[in-house]
Chains A and B, each alone.
Chain A
């Protein structure tokens, strides 16, 4: 232990700031070139299919079990002071505001963010990104922009579907296990739901979509050193996207509901 603690602390701080700077510069480049033509429509559609359609099974399963367990858990709590009628509302508000976007975001980060980092990282280490440049194609416009657009557009749709499936999960448990009247359950679900609950969830989803694709592209694009480098990039993409999702989630919630 020859390096003093202060030195180490200083190095870590500098490294952190350097990373933040690099990511910001990358994000700025990506955004700037996303709005400039040419737009690769086929690539955007392909990515939307990849992020949205192929994530449906895993996000749907997550949503239905989350809705079910929410109904079950809140019943055991609320039954103690005869507030069972609040269960449908608890389920739908928790799902639309928090659990829908956050859980869908985390699942997509694991599924899509990792795949993106691996694909772009492999293209980097096998010189395919250099090859794109020599063919007069901007890798930001061809690789990064379609993924960012697809992420921001597709994740809210995915979350909306997850919300519906989750509420259905709660409904199934409520009606078939907890002996709710089905019409009452649905009425309680809809009556107390506010537009802002759903809207805040969808805004979160769009932000998470941006963060997931940005992290996947950034770590893939900057990966180096062969198979090991691509492996590190993949891990970093998932971990950083997950942390950013949870952090951003708090601040968006505060912006919407703190008043």
Chain B
């Protein structure tokens, strides 16, 4: 077996006295798509941001292609960042820039590409996510939520990253648009041959885009397995989560007013 693309060992992170991650171990193979599921506020986003380097874990090791990245400084991190693409939950498009400039941002600002060449690439990437070239001249605020997500996806794949992260890619979209985005994600990841890590609480999305599923609960990955096994995981927490039941081993902590 080849070395994993991403390898996490004992990653912990706390905010004040709130322990969010309590020792995460996770391996993602080259070209594999792993989906991390879990309830709101269980630390899925924190986990993603630690791998991306937007947050520093308190302890543990995060290796990308065998290189330790948990304690890199900002300047050392840039060449690692080059391997990453990220689709943010709210899109995080730059609202002062036109759509094509958003998609071309990485190629122009970081890779030093000429604007004309980057414009060409941006239009091509917009085509990949099913958007017409004239959309490129609009500003992000003029687009619907689904279209913004597509533009954000086009931006995430514009530099042809080796690893792509998806933060709740279908949240806030109607079921049909959610499925459109899921299919685009599968298509784009396959076309690039990229490794993918997604976080979601949308089971339809998880089944569609994941090869493997890991469930995050109380700061630990309590179950991992192929997506086909998820319906007979034998784990009460997973069963409860995928069927969306209020009763079960997971008790929502609702504070009484």
Contact (Cβ within 8 A) B89 A135: no
Contacts of B94 in A (CB 8 A): 123, 128, 131
Chain B residues with CB below 8 A from A134, complex form:
52, 54, 81, 84-86
Name A124-160 residues within 8 Å CB distance of B: 126-128, 130-131, 133-138, 142
B29 to chain A, nearest CB (A): 22
CA separation between A131 and B109, bound complex, in Å? 13
Beyond A130-B54, A142-B109, whether A136 also contacts B90 by CB under 8 A is no
In the bound complex, do residue B89 and residue A136 qualify as a contact, i.e. CB atoms below 8 Å apart? no
Report A-chain residues with C-beta under 8 Å of the C-beta of B52: 134
B54 lies within 8 A of A136 (CB) = no
Which chain A residue has the least Cβ–Cβ distance from B102?
A131
Q: How far is the CB of A108 from chain B (nearest CB, A)?
A: 20
Complex: how many Å from CA A131 to CA B85?
9
Is there contact, CB below 8 Å, between A127 and B109? no
Q: Interface digits, B66-108 against A, CB 8 Å rule (1 contact, 0 not)?
A: 0000000010001001101110111011111000000001100
Q: Is there a chain A Cβ closer than 8 Å to B144's Cβ?
A: no
Residue of A nearest to B109 (CB): A137
Task: Knowing A130-B54, A131-B86 are in contact, say whether A136-B106 is a contact too (CB < 8 A).
Answer: yes
Judging by beta carbons under 8 Å apart, are A130 and B82 in contact? no
Are B88 and A130 in contact, CB atoms less than 8 angstroms apart? yes
Q: When the two chains form their complex, are residues B92 and A136 in contact, meaning their CB atoms are under 8 A apart?
A: no
B110 within 8 A of A: yes
Nearest B residue to A128 via CB reads B92
Do A136 and B110 touch (CB < 8 A)? yes
User: A8–B137 Cα gap in the complex (Å)?
Assistant: 55
Q: Which size bracket describes the interface of A in this complex?
A: 10 to 19
Contacts of B159 in A (CB 8 A): 135
Q: Taking each of A131, A133, A142, which has the highest tally of chain B beta carbons within 10 Å of its own beta carbon? A: A131
Is there contact, CB below 8 Å, between B88 and A133? Answer: no
Tell me the residues in window 28-54 of chain A with beta carbons closer than 8 Å to chain B beta carbons.
40
Q: How near does chain A come to B201, taking the closest CB pair, in angstroms?
A: 18
Are B92 and A126 in contact (CB-based, < 8 A)? yes
The CA-CA distance from A123 to B94 in the complex, in Å, is: 8
Question: CB within 8 A of B105: which of A126, A133, A135?
Answer: A135
Task: Establish whether residues A130 and B74, one from each chain, have CB atoms under 8 Å apart when the complex forms.
Answer: no
Return A127 CB to nearest CB of chain B, in Å.
4
Which residues of chain B have C-beta atoms less than 8 A from A130's C-beta?
49, 54, 86, 88, 92
Query: How many angstroms from the CA of A130 to the CA of B159 in the assembled complex?
Result: 17
Collect the chain B residues with CB atoms within 8 Å of residue A123's CB.
94
Q: Which residues of A contact B96 (CB under 8 A)?
A: 119
Contact of A127 (CB < 8 Å), options: B53, B89, B106, B155: B89
- In-complex Cβ contact of B54 among A40, A119, A128, A133 (8 A): A133
In the assembled complex, the Cα of A225 lies from the Cα of B46 at a distance in Å of 16
Further pairs besides A119-B96, A127-B90, A136-B110: 16, Cβ < 8 Å: A127-B92, A128-B95, A130-B54, A130-B86, A130-B88, A130-B92, A131-B92, A131-B94, A133-B53, A133-B81, A134-B85, A135-B159, A136-B81, A136-B82, A137-B105, A137-B106
* Residues on A facing B (Cβ under 8 Å): 40, 119, 123, 126-128, 130-131, 133-138, 142
A-B contact pairs, 29 of them (CB 8 A): A40-B109, A126-B90, A126-B92, A127-B89, A127-B90, A127-B92, A130-B54, A130-B88, A131-B86, A131-B92, A131-B93, A131-B94, A133-B53, A133-B54, A133-B81, A134-B52, A134-B54, A134-B84, A134-B86, A135-B105, A135-B106, A135-B109, A135-B155, A136-B78, A136-B82, A136-B109, A137-B105, A137-B109, A138-B74
